[in-house]
């Protein structure tokens, strides 16, 4: 049950105004390879994930419900794998706000969160998907991912995982608020 508290701790209380400021300090796009022999959609060697629709170079990510879902799934999978880089990248604006409120930097806070998630839940998060029918689109700039939209083999409650808002900031979607 405490997982949600830790996750919300990191991703809470970040309104769109502050998130836009905070996102400016975070890189919002992966580094670009200087090699022209590599296809840009190649799977990442470090994560073993399937190719993503992540923006390349200076191209913004698509401002679509599908992209927001993809980013949230990246976050969920990262949470399950204890991939601090992915988790802190996607939850960056919310984590920055939490840090400003005294909760510590994202990496040290999420190390604690990882310890609160059971092995069964971690395994389930690694393959979690999001039901697009349950996603709430307030606008293409602000999309809510309710807990009911998350599909996993484990059970999560609002106090375990919670619901999140993703906002389109600096050419991609980021978690800016958690409930």
Identify any residues that bridge with 139 across adjacent strands, giving them in sequence order.
142
- pLDDT band for position 100 (50/70/90)? confident
Lay out the sheet containing 142-145: strands in order across.
Answer: 136-139, 142-145, 164-169, 172-178
pLDDT digits (tens, 9 = 90+) for 31-53: 333 333 333 333 333 334 444 44
Residue 146 lies in a domain: yes
SS3 of 167, please?
strand
Within-domain flag for 142: yes
Range of the domain at 80: 2-26+60-172
Tell me, yes or no, whether 101 lies in a domain.
Answer: yes
Q: Tell the residue number behind the tokens 């059970």, with chain if given.
A: 155
Per the domain annotation, does 43 fall within a domain?
no
Number of domains forming the structure of the chain = 1
Residue 56 in tokens:
């390349």
pLDDT in tens, 3-39: 433 444 343 333 333 333 333 333 333 333 333 333 3
Domain presence at residue 45: no
pLDDT at res. 150: 97
Tell me, yes or no, if the pTM score tops 0.85: no
CB of 164 closer than 8 Å to CB of 175: yes
Which of 20-24, 86-90, 146-150 has the least mean pLDDT? 20-24
- Cα separation, 82 vs 103, in Å, equals 19
């Amino acid at each position: 049950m405490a997982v949600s508290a830790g996750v919300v701790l990191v991703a809470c209380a970040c309104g769109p105004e502050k998130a836009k400021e905070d996102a400016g300090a975070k890189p919002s796009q992966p580094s670009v390879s200087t090699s022209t022999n590599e296809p840009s959609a190649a799977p990442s060697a470090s994560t073993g994930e399937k190719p993503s629709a992540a923006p390349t170079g200076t191209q913004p990510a698509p401002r679509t419900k599908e992209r927001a879902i993809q980013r949230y799934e990246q976050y969920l999978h990262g949470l399950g794998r204890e991939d601090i880089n992915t988790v802190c990248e996607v939850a960056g604006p919310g984590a920055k706000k939490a840090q400003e409120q005294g909760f510590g930097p994202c990496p040290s806070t999420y190390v604690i969160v990882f310890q609160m998630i059971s092995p069964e839940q971690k395994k389930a998060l690694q393959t979690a998907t999001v039901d697009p029918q349950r996603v709430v689109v307030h606008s293409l700039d602000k999309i809510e991912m309710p807990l009911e939209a998350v599909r996993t083999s484990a059970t999560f409650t609002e106090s375990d995982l919670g619901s999140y808002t993703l906002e389109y900031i600096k050419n991609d979607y980021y978690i800016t608020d958690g409930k």
